[in-house]
A and B are shown apart, each in its own frame.
Chain A
Amino acid sequence: DAGVIQSPRHEVTEMGQEVTLRCKPISGHNSLFWYRQTMMRGLELLIYFNNNVPIDDSGMPEDRFSAKMPNASFSTLKIQPSEPRDSAVYFCASSLRGGGTGANVLTFGAGSRLTVL
Chain B
Amino acid sequence: SQQGEEDPQALSIQEGENATMNCSYKTSINNLQWYRQNSGRGLVHLILIRSNEREKHSGRLRVTLDTSKKSSSLLITASRAADTASYFCATVAADRGSTLGRLYFGRGTQLTVWP
- Where the two chains meet, the residues of A that have a C-beta atom closer than 8 Å to any C-beta of B are 4, 31, 33, 35, 42-43, 45, 48, 50, 55-56, 91, 93, 95, 97, 100, 102-111
- Closest-by-CB residue of A relative to B51 is A102
B residues adjacent to A (C-beta < 8 A): 3, 30-31, 33, 35, 41-45, 48, 88, 90, 92, 98-108
| A-B contact list, 21 entries, CB within 8 Å | A4-B42, A33-B103, A35-B105, A42-B3, A50-B100, A56-B100, A91-B42, A91-B43, A93-B43, A102-B30, A102-B31, A102-B92, A102-B98, A102-B99, A103-B31, A104-B92, A105-B33, A105-B48, A107-B45, A108-B42, A111-B41
Q: How many A-B residue pairs have CB under 8 A?
A: 62
Task: Name the distance in Å between B73's Cβ and chain A's nearest Cβ.
Answer: 20
Q: Pick from A31, A95, A107, A110: contact of B41, CB below 8 A.
A: A110
Residues of chain B within 8 A (CB-CB) of A93 are 42-43
For the complex of A and B, the 5 pairs showing the least CB-CB separation, nearest first, are A108-B42, A102-B98, A102-B30, A104-B101, A43-B105
Majority-rule SS of A interface residues: strand
B81 nearest CB across to chain A (Å): 22
A109 to B3, CA, bound (A): 21
For A103, list chain B residues within 8 Å (CB): 31, 48, 92
Interchain CA distance A100-B100 in the complex, whole Å: 10
Taking each of A103, A107, A109, which has the highest tally of chain B beta carbons within 10 Å of its own beta carbon? A103
Chain B neighbourhood of A50, CB < 8 A: 100-101
Residues B42 and A55 in contact, CB atoms below 8 Å apart: no
Give A43's nearest chain B residue, CB to CB: B105
Q: Find chain B residues with CB under 8 A from A45 CB.
A: 102-105
Of the candidates B48, B101, B105, which one forms a contact with A97 in the assembled complex, judged by CB atoms under 8 Å apart?
B101
- Residues of A near B33 (CB, < 8 A) are 105
